[in-house]
Amino acid sequence: MFYLNPVLTWRYLQIGDKESKDRKPLPNSPMGNAHAEVGALQQTANKGLTEGADAVMKVTGKDLCDYCQKDVVAMAKASKLNSLKIYAETDDAYRFYEWEAGMARFKITETPK
């Protein structure tokens, strides 16, 4: 198991570029506007540390946005993680995101502060 520190990277995303209806790039596409959670996974995958691994990430200050909830699962699949757990702390709650290989999306548990 290893712990990820969400730090932004400027490499290319493995899950592909996406655009909104008005042709503007969506968050996490390309890596130049990626959120830190996606960047941390990309950096780890680039170092060859993800295949078959269990990873834990802590996010403070903000919760995972809707884009990241989908893109982080796509990154976990693409990087061949075995599992990923994310602890997110917001002003009013703690959220626990849990994903294991074979799952389509996160299982989310929330606890008020």
| Residue partners of 66: CB distance under 8 A and separation at least 6 | none
- Return d(Cα 27, Cα 18) in angstroms, integer: 9
In which order are the strands placed within the sheet that holds 107-112?
Answer: 2-4, 54-60, 83-89, 93-100, 107-112
pLDDT at 11 over 60: no
The better pLDDT of the pair 104, 15 is held by 104
pLDDT at 7 over 80: no
pLDDT at 34 over 90: no
Say how many domains are in the chain: 1
pLDDT attached to residue 13? 36
Question: Which residue range is the domain that position 78 belongs to?
Answer: 2-112
pLDDT attached to residue 46? 83
